């Protein structure tokens, strides 16, 4: 149900612009420029990387099911759009886990770490305050989680009761911002002393969800938690700490970061291509990626104002973001690279 | 080493006050450098027999273990008791980490390793240079052709022992017939090994075989049984799909019970969750395949059902042996309907390559040889020859043994190949008929009209202990007369606020 809603919403945004696998890459959070650009251009950045464990076969199955239910339809060039029925269905089923909870572009890399730290911290402190240090930790193979919890533990150990009480108060306030079912589901997934949290399968059973929606629902809840904590961080000092001490994360790929360093040293794309021994088109990809995130990207260095305006005019006339269509309608002097840069910059602001 | 020091360590590290049958004798022998073959029943604490010496003795203890998940469970459990210098070496170890670990092998006290991993010459070279205090072969029946999980790499352990300067050996198993014991001793070339064989019969388990006409009757029986008993229960299946299907059926028809399924295709995280919930009595019933159970140490499992029966008596004894480790009255129930034989028959015929296919497989290998005698990667070869994993594991070992594959080369000699073809065909036939014989044994046992207990254990030992509770259906035991302590459940339906309070121990006085 939840995945259905998200997939149909994605279809409605992408329209005929992109193929159906673009949705899959988006949900998986593929670190390719194409996917990141899709997220921005089609205003789907909230869904970026929200379902990293999604399997291709399950996704394909979902598309087939939605198609045969008449909610979406295939459109020649392997793209998929919602039917009228699909739009109606979307309207009717907007209740639990609102889609605005999701903010994948912002939280997809930190949400899992935040949640795992929270869970492991609760398991550790509740066991420790029962004088039981022989428990099998729910997470034990990620230093970014376990190392952090260990450090916290030495501080909290001094006054565990105080910690538990304040932690309860904060979580209580935070969960009050959610519907009861959402709050309950979240609490059921936590592990404490002599109590193991529910598996995906159990949550699906207890809350009448499809198994495939469970990870998504939890992700939505966690994203909205992160957002709520951020809005009023003074109200949630402990939770803010879990959230804020996350490792630095940059949205740009490693390779693009290197290219940016060279750009900052005033090398041209062509020179960087030689220095790095990479194809010029790869460097172009990097620059487009940088343009997506850098609000002060010097677009004028790459295409003059007249050219920029021309690209925008064509887009407005065609009502399409498809590069090929735009290229055909535009002055031959303007390259694909320049069109992509305009798209990247225009859509982020 | 004095008995007192042993006992002090026992208490400190494992929080155990006394040894169970066999443990102390085995530990004493290996600590005096004697090779030991230990056959101890499931749930008798086999692993303590090497974990305790590993802590006390100088040097490293190597444990060869057949299942990666089992290794990981044991490492986790040891770490949770505060024993940290332990590691599992298997294909999951990352390249970067591997290098670091290999260079510091001697800093560990206990190294779990899979027999496949132990074949790498790199690891052998490292092991040559450290002091190995004890070399343990866990689930040693895997060594044997007659054991139930034929693993060629187990057969190579004998030559590996030589390469690493012949350390003291401890071979452990829960089920080994005399045939299997001889095989183990022969493969390890340890004719003077000390045998510590303990009877495996369980006097607190009552045996029930129930024959039904249709499969659906099995479900009805289980539903009725569960309605009368809420006790920790395992139900074994041969098929992963069935575990899910019946678990769903039970959740619907016995809503009072908390039911889950467990099989090898589930995510590790979900598997851990189910295990831990079962340990904590948060789950009453688990529908599982044989993947569940090894290394699980729950003492109060009361009921073990078999919806499908396993391929042989050894597996059955292991699976029912998970019941009643605390000594309280427990029951095993095997449900049978005619036609159940089809599943094990299919499993057996898929385990080894079919003899009729060997010609083609050899031909394909020859073609590869003509292209280039250089051996592709293990996986690529499996793909090119169109074999499944167990088929290829078996054939690869056989081809190596017959000199068709040497290191990373295919070696062609006409005579050798035709001999090999002949030998391997014969071996497959032998193995197949052996498995069929094993299967007939358990089917015969199901149809046994005399005492089930006596006939279950007869090929392992000469006698058995007097049962403490009901003996078996053939001796007059019926499930209706059985009663056991019921699991208590807090029925109040809680709001999330209450649950959160309970979880975070709010309102509970802490020390």
CATH code: domain of residue B462: 3.40.50.300
Q: B312 and B372: one domain?
A: no
Interface of B with A (CB under 8 A): 76-77, 79-82, 251, 260-261, 269-270, 272-274, 276-277, 280, 282, 495-497, 499-506, 510-511
Check if A2-94 and A254-348 are the same fold. Answer: yes
Query: B404-429 burial by CB neighbour count: b if 16+ within 10 A, else e?
Result: bbeeeebbeeeeebeebbeebeeebe
Structural domain ending residue among the three candidates B439, B471, B487:
B439
Q: B141 and B58: one domain?
A: yes
What residue numbers bound the domain in which B308 lies? 205-340+447-500
Say what the ipTM of the complex is: 0.76
Tell me what the mean pLDDT of segment B12-40 comes to: 89
Q: For chain A, which residues make up each domain, given as ranges? A: 2-94, 111-244, 254-348
Closest-CA distance, B104 to chain A, in angstroms, reads: 20
Closest-CA distance, B46 to chain A, in angstroms, reads: 20
Give the per-residue pLDDT at B149: 63
How many separate domains does chain B show?
Answer: 3
Q: B236 and B171: one domain?
A: no
A133 and B505 in contact by Cβ < 8 A?
no
Q: Which of A115, A120, A136, A164 to mutate against chain B (most B CBs within 10 Å)?
A: A136
Give the per-residue pLDDT at B349: 84
Residue showing tokens 């979900």: B270
Tell me what the mean pLDDT of segment B305-328 comes to: 93
Question: Which pLDDT band holds residue B147 (cuts at 50, 70, 90)?
Answer: low
Name the phi and psi angles at B211, rounded to 5: -100, 135
Least confident of A127-131, B146-150, B496-500: B146-150
Question: Distance of alpha carbon B289 from its chain centroid, rounded?
Answer: 12
- The verdict on A180 touching B (C-beta cutoff 8 Å) is yes
Instruction: Say if B505 falls within a structural domain.
Output: no
Whole-number percent of chain B with pLDDT over 90: 54
Q: B325 and B394: one domain?
A: no
- The verdict on A173 touching B (C-beta cutoff 8 Å) is no
Instruction: Say if B506 falls within a structural domain.
Output: no
Structural domain ending residue among the three candidates B197, B231, B260:
B197
Q: B63 and B22: one domain?
A: yes
Give every CB contact of residue A148 below 8 A, 6+ residues apart in sequence. Answer: A117, A245
- The verdict on A135 touching B (C-beta cutoff 8 Å) is yes
Instruction: Say if B511 falls within a structural domain.
Output: no
Structural domain ending residue among the three candidates B175, B197, B219:
B197
Q: Decide if pLDDT at B2 tops 70.
A: no
Q: B171 and B96: one domain?
A: yes
Give the per-residue pLDDT at A25: 94
Q: B328 and B466: one domain?
A: yes
Give the per-residue pLDDT at B3: 64
pLDDT in tens, B385-427: 888 887 888 898 889 889 998 878 899 999 999 999 999 999 8
The answer to whether the beta carbons of residues B438 and B312 sit under 8 Å apart is yes
In chain A, what's the furthest Cα-to-Cα distance? Answer: 75
**Partner residue facing A161 (CB), from B270, B502, B510:** B510
**Partner residue facing B274 (CB), from A131, A190, A199:** A199
Question: Which pLDDT band holds residue B375 (cuts at 50, 70, 90)?
Answer: confident
CATH classification number, A2-94, choose in 3.90.1150.10, 3.40.1390.30, 1.10.10.10, 3.40.50.970: 1.10.10.10
Mean pLDDT, contiguous 10-residue spans, chain A (349 residues): 94 84 92 82 92 92 94 85 92 84 90 92 94 83 84 90 94 95 95 91 90 94 96 93 71 79 88 91 88 79 90 83 85 90 70
Give the per-residue pLDDT at A251: 60
Q: Decide if pLDDT at B150 tops 70.
A: no
In this structure, the number of other CB atoms found within 10 A of the CB of residue A183 comes to 22
Helix spans in B280-388 (H): 313-320, 342-351, 355-371, 378-384
Sign of the torsion angle spanned by Cα atoms B8, B9, B15, B18: negative
Residue showing tokens 């464990």: A53
Can you state the percent helix, strand and coil of chain A, rounding each to 5? Answer: 65, 5, 30
* Cα separation, A152 vs A11, whole angstroms: 44
**What's this model's pTM, rounded to 2 decimal places?**
0.74
Question: Which pLDDT band holds residue B1 (cuts at 50, 70, 90)?
Answer: low
Closest-CA distance, B24 to chain A, in angstroms, reads: 25
Count interface pairs A-B at CB distance under 8 A: 86
First to last CA, chain B: 39
Name the phi and psi angles at B243, rounded to 5: -60, -40
Residues of chain B contacting residue A187, judged by C-beta atoms under 8 Å apart? 496, 499-500, 503
Q: B121 and B166: one domain?
A: yes
Give the per-residue pLDDT at B377: 81
Q: Which of A124, A188, A196 to mutate against chain B (most B CBs within 10 Å)?
A: A196
Question: Which pLDDT band holds residue B511 (cuts at 50, 70, 90)?
Answer: very low
Give the per-residue pLDDT at A349: 31
Q: B27 and B128: one domain?
A: yes
Q: B293 and B371: one domain?
A: no
* Cα separation, B38 vs B19, whole angstroms: 15
Q: B107 and B38: one domain?
A: yes
User: In this structure, what is the dihedral angle of CA atoms B98, B102, B103, B106, given to the nearest 10 degrees?
Assistant: 140
Q: Under the phi-then-psi rule, with left for phi > 0, alpha for psi from -120 to 50, and beta for the rest, what region is A89? A: alpha
Give the per-residue pLDDT at B148: 62
Question: Distance of alpha carbon A80 from its chain centroid, rounded?
Answer: 22
- The verdict on A165 touching B (C-beta cutoff 8 Å) is yes
A126 and B505 in contact by Cβ < 8 A?
yes
**Partner residue facing B496 (CB), from A183, A195, A201:** A183
Give the per-residue pLDDT at B204: 95
Residues 98-127 of chain A with CB under 8 A from chain B are: 122, 126
Instruction: Report chain B's mean pLDDT, rounded to a whole number.
Output: 89
Q: B156 and B256: one domain?
A: no
The answer to whether the beta carbons of residues B47 and B37 sit under 8 Å apart is no
Closest CA to B459 of B146, B145, B20: B146
State the architecture of A254-348 in CATH terms: Orthogonal Bundle (1.10)
């Amino acid at each position: 149900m939840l995945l259905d809603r998200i997939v149909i919403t994605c279809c409605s945004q992408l329209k005929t612009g992109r193929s159906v696998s673009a949705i899959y890459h988006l949900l998986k959070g593929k670190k390719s420029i194409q996917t990141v650009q899709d997220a921005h251009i089609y205003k789907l950045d909230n869904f970026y990387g929200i379902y990293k464990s999604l399997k291709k076969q399950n996704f394909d199955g979902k598309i087939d099911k939605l198609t045969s239910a008449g909610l979406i339809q295939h459109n020649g060039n392997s793209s998929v759009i919602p039917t009228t029925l699909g739009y109606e269905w979307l309207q009717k089923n907007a209740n639990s886990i609102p889609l605005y909870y999701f903010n994948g572009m912002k939280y997809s890399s930190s949400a899992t770490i935040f949640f795992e730290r929270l869970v492991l911290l609760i398991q550790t402190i509740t066991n420790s305050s029962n004088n039981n240090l022989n428990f099998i930790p729910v997470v034990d193979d990620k230093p970014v989680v376990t190392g952090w919890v260990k450090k916290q533990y030495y501080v909290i150990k001094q006054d565990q009761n105080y910690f538990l009480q304040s932690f309860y108060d904060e979580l209580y306030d935070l969960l009050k911002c959610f519907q009861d079912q959402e709050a309950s589901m979240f609490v059921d997934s936590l592990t404490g002393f002599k109590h193991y949290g529910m598996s995906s399968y159990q949550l699906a059973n207890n809350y009448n969800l499809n198994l495939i929606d469970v990870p998504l629902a939890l992700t939505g809840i966690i994203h909205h938690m992160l957002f709520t904590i951020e809005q009023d961080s003074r109200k949630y000092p402990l939770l803010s700490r879990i959230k804020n001490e996350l490792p630095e994360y940059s949205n740009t790929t490693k390779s693009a970061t290197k290219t940016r360093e060279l750009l900052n040293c005033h090398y041209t794309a062509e020179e960087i291509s030689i220095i790095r021994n990479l194809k010029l088109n790869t460097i172009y990809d990097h620059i487009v990626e940088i343009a997506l995130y850098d609000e002060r990207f010097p677009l004028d260095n790459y295409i003059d104002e007249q050219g920029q305006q021309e690209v925008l005019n064509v887009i407005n006339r065609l009502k399409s973001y498809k590069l090929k269509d735009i290229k055909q309608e535009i002055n031959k002097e303007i390259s694909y690279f320049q069109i992509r840069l305009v798209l990247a910059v225009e859509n982020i602001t | 080493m004095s008995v007192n020091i042993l006992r002090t360590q026992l208490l400190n590290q494992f929080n155990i006050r006394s040894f169970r049958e066999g443990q102390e004798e085995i530990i004493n022998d290996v600590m005096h450098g004697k090779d030991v073959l230990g056959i101890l029943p499931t749930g008798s604490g086999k692993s303590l027999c090497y974990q305790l010496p590993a802590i006390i003795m100088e040097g490293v203890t190597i444990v060869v273990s057949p299942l990666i998940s089992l290794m990981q469970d044991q490492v986790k459990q040891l770490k949770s008791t505060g024993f940290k210098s332990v590691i599992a070496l298997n294909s999951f170890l990352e390249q970067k980490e591997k290098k670091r670990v290999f260079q510091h092998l001697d800093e560990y006290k206990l190294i779990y390793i899979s027999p496949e991993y132990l074949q790498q010459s790199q690891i052998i070279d490292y092991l040559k240079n450290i002091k190995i205090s004890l070399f343990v072969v866990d689930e040693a029946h895997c060594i044997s052709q007659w054991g139930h999980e034929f693993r060629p790499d187990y057969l190579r352990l004998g030559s590996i022992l030589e390469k690493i300067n012949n350390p003291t050996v401890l071979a452990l198993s829960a089920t080994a017939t005399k045939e299997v014991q001889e095989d183990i001793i022969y493969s390890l070339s340890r004719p003077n090994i000390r045998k510590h064989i303990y009877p495996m019969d369980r006097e607190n388990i009552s045996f029930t075989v129930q024959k039904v006409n249709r499969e659906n009757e099995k479900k009805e029986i289980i539903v009725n049984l569960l309605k009368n008993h809420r006790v920790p229960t395992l139900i074994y299946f041969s098929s992963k799909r069935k575990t899910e299907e019946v678990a769903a059926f039970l959740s619907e028809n016995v809503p009072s019970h908390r039911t889950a399924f467990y099989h090898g295709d589930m995510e590790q995280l979900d598997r851990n969750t189910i295990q831990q919930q079962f340990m904590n009595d948060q789950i009453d019933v688990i529908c599982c395949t044989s993947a569940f159970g090894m290394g699980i140490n729950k003492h109060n499992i009361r009921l073990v059902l078999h919806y499908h029966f396993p391929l042989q008596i050894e597996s059955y004894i292991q699976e029912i042996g998970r019941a009643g480790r605390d000594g309280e009255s427990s029951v095993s129930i095997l449900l049978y309907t005619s036609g159940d034989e089809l599943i094990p028959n299919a499993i057996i015929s898929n385990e080894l390559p079919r003899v009729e296919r060997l010609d083609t497989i050899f031909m394909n290998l020859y073609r590869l040889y003509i292209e280039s005698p250089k051996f592709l990667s293990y996986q690529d070869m499996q793909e090119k020859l169109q074999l499944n994993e167990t088929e290829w594991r078996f054939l690869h070992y056989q081809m190596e043994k017959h000199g068709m594959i040497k290191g990373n080369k295919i070696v062609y000699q006409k005579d050798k190949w035709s001999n090999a073809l002949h030998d391997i065909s014969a071996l497959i036939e032998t193995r197949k008929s052996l498995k069929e014989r094993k299967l007939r044994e358990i089917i015969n046992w199901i149809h046994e009209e005399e005492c089930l207990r006596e006939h279950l254990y007869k090929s392992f030992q000469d006698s058995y202990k007097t049962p403490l509770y009901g003996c078996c259906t053939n001796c007059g035991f019926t499930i209706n007369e059985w009663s056991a302590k019921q699991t208590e459940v807090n029925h109040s339906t809680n709001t999330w606020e209450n649950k959160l309070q309970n979880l975070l121990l709010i309102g509970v006085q802490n020390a």
